[in-house]
Structure 1
């Protein structure tokens, strides 16, 4: 179950993404706190939550996040839940963790903070990113993919935008690129590759959505051992604001 989400903000000056807050759902209560990433001089706190040092709580989802849920009255709502692979297990956090809470009107996204799954392993679902940069044959390749097909990670070491970038490619011939892992996860995925070894980090097709918007077409799952030396998102910018 998803209990924590990291809120990342895109700096309008540098166009880089920075984690600025964390939202948690525990004991039927929502909690919100800023992280050290909010110290960026260009960042502006949200509405009445303007004390960077305070931990806020509410019995209801905070408005800034509630507004990122798709209205149940929308005609595409059932299709939307299907694209997100949400079936009978719905909760607000699950939707936000899959959809990333993206809105066209701002520069914010949400990502789940992974915890150990039932087997004690690291497991996270994510949609393939950067599909618009892939060759047009990408969509045709999707038609041949099935759930649980293995995908491979490809370290894009000469990527000028992100030295940690990890591309996704097919395992079976013909070999084709299928986008990228979200940059938000890339550092941790690279750490797990180093700690566990490349043969023990597995990526699978979770769901293919041929009729969905481009950013929701390929849902992937990464699974690997939760190494004793691994802590997710342990960089300073993710830590509570001090």
Structure 2
């Protein structure tokens, strides 16, 4: 199996800003975790119990407890439905697949995981994600989700007047136009400028609709695109992503 990489973000309880504070890798049946520069961009972040050295690389053949506690047990009766909502295969999906697709979110803290978006040599990329913020949209938007189909194109709108996120990107249907939610921040941060300057290079579509799922897992989308040559070396490579140890 090829190397799988996920980034861990943490929301500062005071500023409400999100910071990339760690990187989790899985390769050759082993997990590694390193803190990243983002945890130094806030005075409020506290290292995890048993992982208090910010400059150490942690290794384990078992998933670290801070991540293991975010997985739904396969013994739970709702597990088959959960796997289906995520658009994963229960026979092949591993813990990293579950964590990165679901975000590993728990209602009791302010941590979230997302996968590294890999680029091909020519800058092409493809990525699957859930839309965010659907519960804040009007009832007409929520109803519209039930009237779209897998494969339908969606259209990005740069939400330039968003006071909470200057890089916010909305997704809407074509006919009749209806806003369905937001692109996750980790993607909008990378795609906002590209969509403003070269919108024809990025295409969004519906991947899966799960009508019975909770709001956060209801609409699974896919984005395909090609980064301009000048962006190849900076995609998901800001200072916050840099490990504090080599």
Distance change in 2, residues 1:94/1:2 (3 Å): farther
Within the alignment, does 1:86 sit opposite 2:73 as a pair? Answer: no
Cα deviation 1:184-233 (Å, max 9, x = unaligned): 211111243357x2112000101001000011110011110244332321
After TM superposition, list the pairs within 5 Å mapping 1:148-187 onto structure 2: 148-171=151-174, 173-187=175-189
TM normalised by structure 1 equals: 0.94
Which moved further from structure 2: 92-101 or 224-233?
224-233
Partners of 1:151 and 1:53 in 2: CA distance: 42
Report the counterpart of residue 238 of structure 1 in structure 2: 241
DSSP-derived class of the 2:229 partner: coil
Question: Which contiguous aligned blocks of 4+ residues in structure 1 show a shift greater than 4 angstroms?
Answer: 117-120
Partners of 2:23 and 2:196 in 1: CA distance: 27
TM normalised by structure 2 equals: 0.92
Aligned length: 240
Report the counterpart of residue 62 of structure 1 in structure 2: 64
DSSP-derived class of the 1:190 partner: helix
DSSP-derived class of the 2:148 partner: coil
DSSP-derived class of the 1:94 partner: helix
Cα deviation 1:111-139 (Å, max 9, x = unaligned): 11111369962111111101122111123
Contact 1:83 1:216 in 2 (8 A): yes
Within the alignment, does 1:102 sit opposite 2:133 as a pair? Answer: no
Partners of 1:41 and 1:116 in 2: CA distance: 33
Report the counterpart of residue 212 of structure 1 in structure 2: 213
How many Å apart are 1:2 and its aligned residue?
6.9
Unmatched 5+ residue regions in structure 1? none
Partners of 1:99 and 1:61 in 2: CA distance: 16
Partners of 1:160 and 1:194 in 2: CA distance: 18
Distance change in 2, residues 1:119/1:218 (3 Å): farther
Distance change in 2, residues 1:165/1:20 (3 Å): same
Contact 1:2 1:93 in 2 (8 A): no
State the Cα RMSD in Å: 1.8
